[in-house]
């Protein structure tokens, strides 16, 4: 952090920390294949580092396909996991060697049959986002009976049904929340086996939590819960796939911003409004609904503090970061002071707008080598 000065806001991402998180997760999940969800942070250096560490990649668009291939990823290591794809993008990915796709509807399955013939396909199941801070329920997945019907239809369409996928919601705080979906998957595997379709892969998605303000279970607890659940529900264990985004990159990032204004709306207000030079439009999308509570650090944290409402710099009133969450900041804080936002490596640069109110998109510096070293494996 100290090495970087210059105009705020900016993000600093420590690549060796990404390597350490990758090794912790891949180690905990044993033989599972790990697909990095590129949308969490699509920086080429970071993707190249993960290629060197042996990761595979979950991509959602044509440009994420290009990014991974340019970073040296084998097309066979890409999974096109978005269940909402343009036909032209399916054709594009298929022409570049991508052979693994996810669908959750009859129409998408038909599109895959036409534009990605011969590919392996996962069917995504609806999953409750309960227990997570950023649910991905409702919009993605289908009911189990529909999944059975669609996977059963896949071979006749010239596709290879390999398994099912689901996502229990991002920043999922409870490792036990994978169990209901794994049980459901096991029933689908059994039902299809009875009609001669042998599924082989179980994609347990992402959702593994990172420490923000409150501590979360260690990655080993997630892996142990998932693996125990698979043993419990499956007679023949499928190959496991995990798709972490946030867990791999959040911890590595520190976002430095600056206080622009501190004010009160009435003379007697106890709560101060603290306006930062970053907000919802500048990369802090995860504060939507006050879902993610980032840890904030200032140079005055040793002194007395008081309650605050924290807002971004734009001319939009949705650009309020925390109003209900009981944040406190030092009374000594002044305009021009820095505020460091910890755990900001995920979903920040990838979600900043290109220039709402003329404010430049978030800049980022990537520090440390993009070549993994043996030392990264030693832990802290
Ligand atoms: C975003 C996403 C992920 C990553 O989720 P995290 O909660 O960041 O781990 C994994 N799989 C799919 C399909 C996604 O859309």
In this predicted structure, what is the pLDDT of residue 348? 98
Where among 248, 282, 308 does a domain terminate? 248
Both structure tokens of 302:
């040793």
Mark whether 143 and 175 lie in a shared domain.
yes
In this predicted structure, what is the pLDDT of residue 235? 94
CA of 40 to the centre of ligand 1 (A): 8
Q: Which atom of ligand 1 is nearest to the CA of 60?
A: 15
Mean pLDDT on 250-259:
98
C-alpha span between 169 and 132 (Å, rounded): 5
Mark whether 153 and 215 lie in a shared domain.
yes
pLDDT tens profile 64-77: 999 999 999 999 99
165: Cβ–Cβ under 8 A, 6 or more apart, which residues? 81, 102, 122, 123, 124, 125, 202, 203, 204, 205, 241, 243
In this predicted structure, what is the pLDDT of residue 251? 98
Where among 205, 220, 248 does a domain terminate? 248
Query: Is residue 145 pLDDT above 80, yes or no?
Result: yes
Where among 248, 283, 303 does a domain terminate? 248
Is 264 within a domain?
A: yes
CA of 258 to the centre of ligand 1 (A): 30
Mark whether 95 and 55 lie in a shared domain.
yes
283 lines ligand 1 (CB under 6 A): no
C-alpha span between 83 and 81 (Å, rounded): 6
In this predicted structure, what is the pLDDT of residue 373? 85
Mark whether 95 and 223 lie in a shared domain.
yes
Mean pLDDT on 374-380:
52
Is 378 within a domain?
A: no
CA of 37 to the centre of ligand 1 (A): 6
Query: Is residue 63 pLDDT above 70, yes or no?
Result: yes
Mark whether 140 and 84 lie in a shared domain.
yes
Mark whether 19 and 137 lie in a shared domain.
yes
pLDDT tens profile 347-369: 999 999 998 999 999 999 999 99
In this predicted structure, what is the pLDDT of residue 375? 60
In this predicted structure, what is the pLDDT of residue 379? 44
Pocket test for ligand 1, best of 40, 46, 79 (most atoms within 8 A of CB): 40
Query: Is residue 220 pLDDT above 60, yes or no?
Result: yes
CA dihedral 127, 131, 134, 138 (to 10 degrees): 30
Mark whether 241 and 273 lie in a shared domain.
no
Query: Is residue 376 pLDDT above 60, yes or no?
Result: no
Q: If you average pLDDT over every residue of the chain, what do you get?
A: 96
pTM (two decimals): 0.96
207 lines ligand 1 (CB under 6 A): yes
- At residue 41, φ and ψ (nearest 5 deg) are -170, 100
The residue among 49, 15, 13 whose CA lies nearest residue 368 is 15
pLDDT tens profile 268-324: 999 999 999 999 999 999 999 999 999 999 999 999 999 999 999 999 999 999 999
Give me the catalytic one of 68, 142, 257, 315.
315
Which residue, chain included where needed, has tokens 């993707």?
A: 47
In this predicted structure, what is the pLDDT of residue 2? 52
Is 5 within a domain?
A: no
81 lines ligand 1 (CB under 6 A): yes
Is 127 within a domain?
A: yes
C-alpha span between 210 and 170 (Å, rounded): 10
CATH number at residue 117: 3.20.20.10
Mark whether 287 and 173 lie in a shared domain.
no
Mean pLDDT on 123-132:
95
Is 377 within a domain?
A: no
Q: State how far Cα 168 lies from the chain centre.
A: 12
- At residue 125, φ and ψ (nearest 5 deg) are -95, 145
Is 339 within a domain?
A: yes
Mark whether 102 and 47 lie in a shared domain.
yes
Q: Which atom of ligand 1 is nearest to the CA of 172?
A: 7
Which residue, chain included where needed, has tokens 């796939």?
A: 241
Is 8 within a domain?
A: no
Q: Read off the pLDDT band of 5 (50, 70, 90).
A: confident
- Percentage of the chain modeled with pLDDT above 70: 98
Query: Is residue 95 pLDDT above 50, yes or no?
Result: yes
CATH number at residue 303: 2.40.37.10
CA of 250 to the centre of ligand 1 (A): 13
CA of 8 to the centre of ligand 1 (A): 29
Q: Read off the pLDDT band of 380 (50, 70, 90).
A: very low
Mark whether 297 and 221 lie in a shared domain.
no
Tell me, yes or no, if 315 is annotated catalytic.
yes
In this predicted structure, what is the pLDDT of residue 136? 86
Query: Is residue 92 pLDDT above 60, yes or no?
Result: yes
Could you tell me the residue range of the domain that residue 103 belongs to?
15-248
C-alpha span between 90 and 177 (Å, rounded): 32
Is 6 within a domain?
A: no
Query: Is residue 377 pLDDT above 70, yes or no?
Result: no
In this predicted structure, what is the pLDDT of residue 378? 46
Both structure tokens of 26:
């891949």
Mark whether 335 and 202 lie in a shared domain.
no
Query: Is residue 179 pLDDT above 70, yes or no?
Result: yes
Give the chain's domain count: 2
Which residue, chain included where needed, has tokens 């999940």?
A: 29
Query: Is residue 80 pLDDT above 70, yes or no?
Result: yes
Mark whether 242 and 265 lie in a shared domain.
no
In this predicted structure, what is the pLDDT of residue 151? 98
């Amino acid at each position: 952090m100290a090495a970087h000065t210059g105009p705020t806001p900016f993000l600093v991402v420590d690549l060796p920390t990404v390597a350490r998180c990758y090794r912790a997760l891949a180690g905990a999940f044993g033989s599972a294949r790990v697909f990095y969800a590129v949308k969490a942070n699509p920086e080429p250096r970071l993707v190249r580092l993960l290629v060197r560490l042996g990761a595979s990649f979950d991509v959602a668009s044509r440009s994420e396909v290009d990014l991974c291939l340019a970073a040296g990823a084998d097309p066979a290591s890409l999974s096109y996991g978005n269940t909402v794809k343009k036909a032209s993008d399916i054709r594009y990915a298929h022409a570049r060697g991508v052979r693994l796709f996810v669908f959750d509807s009859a129409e998408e399955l038909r599109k895959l049959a036409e534009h990605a013939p011969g590919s392996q396909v996962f069917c995504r199941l609806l999953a409750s986002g309960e227990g997570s801070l950023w649910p991905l329920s409702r919009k993605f997945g289908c009911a189990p009976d529909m999944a059975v019907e669609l996977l059963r239809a896949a071979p006749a369409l010239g596709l290879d049904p390999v398994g099912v996928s689901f996502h229990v919601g991002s920043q999922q705080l409870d490792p036990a929340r994978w169990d209901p979906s794994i049980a459901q998957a096991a029933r689908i595997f059994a039902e299809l086996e009875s009609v001669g379709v042998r599924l082989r892969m179980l994609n347990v998605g992402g959702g593994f939590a990172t420490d923000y303000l409150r501590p979360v279970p260690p990655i080993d607890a997630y892996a142990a819960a998932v693996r125990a659940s698979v043993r419990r529900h499956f007679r023949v264990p499928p190959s496991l796939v995990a798709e972490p985004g946030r867990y791999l990159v959040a911890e590595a990032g520190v976002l430095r911003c600056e206080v622009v204004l501190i004010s009160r709306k009435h003379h007697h207000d106890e709560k101060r409004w603290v306006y930062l030079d970053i907000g919802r439009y500048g990369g802090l999308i995860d504060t939507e609904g006050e879902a993610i509570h980032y840890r904030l650090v200032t140079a005055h944290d040793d002194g007395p503090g008081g309650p605050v409402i924290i807002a971004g710099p734009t001319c939009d009133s949705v650009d309020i970061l925390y109003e209900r969450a009981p944040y406190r900041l030092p009374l000594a804080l002044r305009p021009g002071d820095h505020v460091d936002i910890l755990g900001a490596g995920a979903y920040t640069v990838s979600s900043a707008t290109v220039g709402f109110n003329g404010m430049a998109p978030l800049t980022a510096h990537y520090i440390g080598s993009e070549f993994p070293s043996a030392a990264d494996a030693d832990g802290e």
